[in-house]
Each structure stands twice: as C-alpha cells, then as structure tokens.
Structure 1
C-alpha cells in the first residue's frame, strides 16, 4: 500500500510516514522510500547552497572584471550579491554542517558562474565593451572568507 501511496500521492505518503514515526509504528514504515527521500533532502540542501553561490560568484566576478559599465548595471549586481550572500549565510546558519561543503560548492559552482558572467557580459548594452572570455579567470579569484564577507564586492 505505501509503495502505491508513495507513487500516487507523495504528500499523503509523507503525512502517513510522519504519523507512523510519531506513533512508533516502525514495522510499517516504507523504509526504502524514506531513505530515498532523506538522501534527496540532503542533495537538495547542497544544491540550494551551490545555486546561491553560483549567482553570488557570477555577480562578484562581473563587478571585478567589467569596470566600464554604467552605475545602474552595477547597482543590480550589488543587490544580487547582497541577496545571494544572505541566502548562503542563511543556508549555513540553518544547516551548519553545510559549512564543510563550502569549498566543494565553490569549486563546483565557479565554472557555471563564470559561464553565466560571460553570457550576461555578451548581452551588455549602453556601448559597454564586451570582454573576451580569456579576461575571466578560469579559477575562482575569491576566497571563502571574501565570498562570505558582507562588505566584500570583488573590487
């Protein structure tokens, strides 16, 4: 039944599983799917952290590399940096064990952040010079401390 319920109505399966745990009905638990959901939950936490780091790094990189853009463009990057840095800090505050994943998350997110910064840079308007891809560092130019420093903007 729970296998069918799991495949048919995940929310109801979750509610039933919580009820079984609260009632100490361990023998009736759908252990296989419970393990699967817990593994996915852990992946989800890491993916959220990595996603926020990617956007944060992309905009830090743009501020560092794209010097000649109008202040209006820089303002949106500053706002994004503030927002995504706070999300990263919240991720780590809510789940302190994610701090051990930070270095790996930066290493995994930076190539995508670099691609994003390059793509967005190619969309530049207002007579802004489009930079060459080679002008964007292949390795992340920011330390973990800088990435988390609320007063650091890559400049």
Structure 2
C-alpha cells in the first residue's frame, strides 16, 4: 500500500483484517464497560466497603473508555449495544466479587451510559 500498488492488494484479506480490528475494539469496549459497571454496582450496593482500589478502577476504566472512544469514534454509536451485551456479565462479576445474594443486585442496569462515563457520577 505504501508503494501505491493498489492493484496488487489482497482485498479479501484486507477486508478481513479491518473487520477483525473493528471487532477487537468492540470487544475492548465491552470488556471495559463490564469492569466499570461491575465496580459501579459494588460501589452502590456495598457502600460500606468502598475503597481507594475501587475508586481507582472506576477512574482508570472511565479514562480508558474515553480514550478508546476518542480514537475510535465509530464505537460511540455502539455504546448502547455494548452496554446491553455486557450488563449480565458485569452483574455476575459484582455478585461473585461481593458474595452478596443475587437479589441485592438489580436485574437491569440502573445506570445510563452518560452516568457510566461521567467522572463526577
């Protein structure tokens, strides 16, 4: 490509690589949303155990998400989808890490995307 020999490009392989890159970014978005949402749930449900470690994890995940979205603006349109796909895993993670009964945690996400990403929330 750098030599501008576009007729020699393996378009099928190039398309596959671009799609794979997009999928990796989406997977990273889901993963960060899972960890962040799980920590926000723990912060809300187990407020008496709040720690600097939880606060740091929340801050790092928000910063990393902001950077990911800034570098890959196309992911912004997929935030709701990624949140819907990561919610159950986030809930399960929070339950496993707190040892609290399932009933202590909401069945649906109590946070909006704006709240999840808001460093003041």
Pick the aligned partner of 1:64 from 44, 63, 66. Answer: 44
Q: Detail structure 1 runs of 4+ shifted over 6 Å in the superposition.
A: none
1:140 maps onto 2:120 in alignment: no
Normalised TM-score (structure 1)? 0.74
For 2:61 and 2:39, the matched residues in 1 are separated by 10
Give the aligned CA root-mean-square deviation in angstroms: 1.1
Gaps of 5+ in 1: 1-20, 123-130
Pick the aligned partner of 1:75 from 52, 55, 64. Answer: 52
Deviation at 1:75, TM superposition (A): 1.6
For 1:107 and 1:76, the matched residues in 2 are separated by 26
1:90 maps onto 2:67 in alignment: yes
Deviation at 1:38, TM superposition (A): 0.5
Count of aligned positions = 121
Normalised TM-score (structure 2)? 0.94
Gaps of 5+ in 2: none
1:27 matched residue in structure 2: 7
Rg larger for: 1
